[in-house]
């Protein structure tokens, strides 16, 4: 009987244990994707990740067609949909790669039960992480809370298995009906806000591999020093590809390690790059051990934090109108491209939770909706890190100064000039604090502060003092 390969978050053909094992079994195979936003425990995708998913499915379908196979796309609760498909094609088994998170695992358990009821076998393969999170749980049942010892343990534990090749051929079952990708309604129509995403990104396994190759060839040697600079492309930009499993951490690991052996001068950059991949791993482990990471403070003391509700300030932040150029550049980059440089994410997030005292969950939700790499682990874990409520977090009292951050990491202002064109004619010494310019300097640069570009939404010193006072109130209420 045929085997169904259920594609979940590994939207690729290489290093896909479920697909590879099915293909090597000699059975006929049906590849299937189920768009399931209904099963309990699923966090519905945001707008930008929906857009990415549509592109990723197109790329996957094209790769499968090149092997002579179809991608059967259906929609609905996975247990029901896969049960129906299994009956239709008289499948003997369904194979899939694990997604090591409580929600997706609960869905998989339902699928397994539904298939069991009709006598269809299930087989699950490890994927997605370098180490099974269950392996790193302590005796107290808690998972790792501090990154550095976590990463040391991972480095000592793993030599992840060598990536599997793409099956050379697939003997396929044809004829099962499939939805068109367009029928999933993943892409915007009116208004079509995805123009900037289309010109910035190419989804899919091939594009992911090319990105990794290019990064290792041209950028990794400078990565350790340049990765904080938003004005140049110094990082891999692999995060959305990783999010949808278009490339696996194992593939990145082995390719990067091989590059380090070949080019020892790049070893430092490669170690740093892999440790960033470690932060992804750490965030996913946190999520595994704390399924409500996006809604609950990891440090319960933060439950009493006196957050402010200020819709106007939240909207100004979302639209890149805070009056802090580095933050506004980041928020506009995010809206236009579905991404934002990591350093700027930290500064923008800090402004929201510290200077504006807005609950980190509101920022997390905005990023969830607008990032093409919006990740159920990394997004909430990073927000909690910035807010100070997380595991191994930046202490709350460390308040980023958005002017100094801009001057340090975007020293000549190229990043701000690109995304905040109304400030483009200001000199580097003023571009991160236009309010410090003399009236003549503003006039020469064509800036009308408060009209063509806003004054700061809150003065830094005042915002910082207010944040520290709020934090102190939390401490005294402990
Ligand atoms: P590179 O520097 O090339 O790093 C390689 C890979 O390592 C990345 O692709 C990513 O998978 C991982 N990585 C790097 N930095 C981090 C980090 N700090 N935490 C976790 N993983 C990391 N990353 C996401 O993938 N999804 C998110 O939803 C997300 N939300 C964030 C929210 C905030 C407030 C902050 C401060 C950071 C967030 N990050 C998130 C982490 C980080 O900003 C991105 O992973 C990074 O910018 C992606 O760019 P890159 O692929 O060029 O990274």
319 vs 34, 61, 310, 330, 366, CA distance in Å?
A: 34, 36, 14, 10, 11
Whole-number Å distance between alpha carbons of 464 and 355: 6
Q: Is the pLDDT of residue 41 over 90?
A: no
Average pLDDT over residues 247-261: 96
**Cα 398 to the chain's mean position, in Å?**
25
- Cβ–ligand 1 distance for 350 under 6 Å, the answer no
Q: Check if 435 is active-site.
A: no
The pairing of beta strand 93-97 with beta strand 29-35? unpaired
Could you report the predicted ipTM of this complex, rounded to two decimals? 0.99
pLDDT tens-place string over residues 290-310: 999 999 999 999 999 999 999
pLDDT tens-place string over residues 206-218: 999 999 999 999 9
Nearest to 349 by CA among 335, 365, 338: 365
Task: Answer yes or no: are the C-beta atoms of 43 and 103 closer than 8 Å.
Answer: yes
**Residue ranges matching CATH 1.10.579.10 in the chain:** 300-476
Secondary structure (3-state) at 443: helix
Atom of ligand 1 nearest to the CA of 383: 34
Secondary structure (3-state) at 323: coil
CATH code given to domain 1-127: 3.40.50.620
Average pLDDT over residues 418-446: 98
Task: Answer yes or no: are the C-beta atoms of 29 and 264 closer than 8 Å.
Answer: no
Please list, in sequence order, all residues whose beta carbon lies within 8 angstroms of the beta carbon of residue 314, skipping any fewer than 6 positions away: 352, 356, 358, 362
- Cβ–ligand 1 distance for 364 under 6 Å, the answer no
Task: Answer yes or no: are the C-beta atoms of 72 and 174 closer than 8 Å.
Answer: no
Q: Locate 239 and state its tokens.
A: 């995060």
pTM of the prediction?
Answer: 0.98
- Phi-psi group of 41: left, alpha or beta (phi > 0 → left; psi -120 to 50 → alpha; rest → beta): left
- Cβ–ligand 1 distance for 393 under 6 Å, the answer no
Q: Quote the pLDDT of residue 477.
A: 55
The verdict on domain 129-160+204-289 having CATH code 3.30.470.20 is no
Q: Check if 253 is active-site.
A: no
Q: Check if 52 is active-site.
A: no
Mean pLDDT, rounded, of the chain = 96
Whole-number Å distance between alpha carbons of 337 and 307: 30
CA of 342 to the centre of ligand 1 (A): 6
CA of 378 to the centre of ligand 1 (A): 7
Nearest to 104 by CA among 370, 288, 243, 369: 288
pLDDT tens-place string over residues 306-352: 999 999 999 999 999 999 999 999 999 999 999 999 999 999 999 99
Whole-number Å distance between alpha carbons of 323 and 461: 15
Alpha helices in 325-477 (DSSP H): 325-337, 342-350, 360-370, 378-387, 402-409, 414-419, 428-431, 439-445, 460-476
**Residue ranges matching CATH 1.25.40.80 in the chain:** 129-160+204-289
CATH code given to domain 300-476: 1.10.579.10
pLDDT tens-place string over residues 449-467: 999 999 999 999 999 999 9
Atom of ligand 1 nearest to the CA of 215: 3
Nearest to 255 by CA among 199, 300, 215, 222: 215
**Residue ranges matching CATH 3.40.50.620 in the chain:** 1-127
């Amino acid at each position: 009987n045929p085997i169904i390969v259920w594609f979940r978050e590994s939207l690729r053909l290489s290093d896909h244990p479920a697909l590879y094992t099915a293909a090597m079994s000699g059975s006929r195979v049906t590849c299937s994707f189920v768009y399931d936003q209904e099963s309990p425990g699923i966090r519905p995708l945001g707008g930008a990740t929906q857009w990415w998913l549509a592109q990723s499915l197109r790329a996957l379908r094209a790769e499968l067609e090149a092997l002579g196979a179809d991608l059967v796309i259906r929609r609905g609760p996975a247990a029901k949909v896969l049960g129906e498909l299994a009956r239709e094609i008289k499948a003997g088994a369904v194979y899939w790669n694990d997604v090591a998170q409580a929600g997706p695992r609960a869905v998989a358990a339902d699928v397994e039960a539904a298939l069991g009821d009709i006598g269809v076998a299930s087989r699950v393969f490890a994927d997605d992480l370098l180490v099974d999170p269950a392996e790193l749980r302590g005796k107290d049942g808690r998972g790792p809370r501090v990154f550095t010892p976590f990463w040391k343990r991972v480095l000592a534990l793993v030599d992840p298995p060598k990536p599997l090749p793409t099956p050379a051929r697939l003997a396929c079952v044809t004829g099962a009906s499939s939805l068109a990708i367009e029928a999933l309604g993943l892409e915007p129509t009116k208004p079509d806000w995805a123009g900037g995403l289309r010109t910035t990104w190419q989804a899919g396994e091939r594009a992911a591999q090319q990105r990794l190759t290019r990064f290792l060839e041209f950028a990794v040697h400078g990565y350790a020093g340049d990765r904080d600079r938003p004005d140049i492309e110094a990082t891999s930009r692999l995060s959305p590809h990783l999010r949808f499993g278009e490339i696996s951490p194992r593939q990145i690991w082995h390719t990067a390690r091989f590059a380090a052996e070949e080019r020892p001068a790049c070893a430092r950059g490669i170690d740093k790059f892999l440790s960033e991949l470690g932060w992804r791993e750490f965030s996913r482990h946190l999520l595994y051990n704390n399924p409500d990471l996006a809604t609950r403070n990891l440090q319960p003391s933060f439950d009493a934090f006196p957050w402010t509700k200020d819709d106007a300030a939240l909207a100004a932040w979302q639209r890149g109108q805070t009056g802090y150029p580095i933050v506004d550049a980041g928020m506009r980059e995010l809206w236009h491209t579905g991404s934002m440089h990591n350093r700027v994410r930290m500064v923008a997030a800090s402004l929201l939770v510290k200077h504006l005292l807005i609950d980190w969950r509101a920022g997390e939700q905005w990023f969830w909706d607008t990032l093409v790499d919006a990740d159920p682990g990394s997004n909430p874990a990073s927000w909690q890190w910035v807010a100070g409520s997380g595991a191994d977090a930046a202490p709350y009292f460390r308040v980023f100064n958005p002017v100094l951050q801009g001057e340090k990491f975007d020293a000549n202002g190229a990043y701000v000039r690109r995304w905040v064109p109304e400030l483009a004619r200001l000199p580097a010494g003023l571009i991160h604090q236009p309010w410090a310019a003399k009236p003549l300097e503003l006039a020469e640069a064509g800036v009308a502060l408060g009209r063509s570009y806003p004054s700061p939404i809150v003065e830094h010193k005042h915002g910082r003092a207010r944040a520290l006072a709020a934090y102190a109130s939390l401490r005294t209420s402990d």
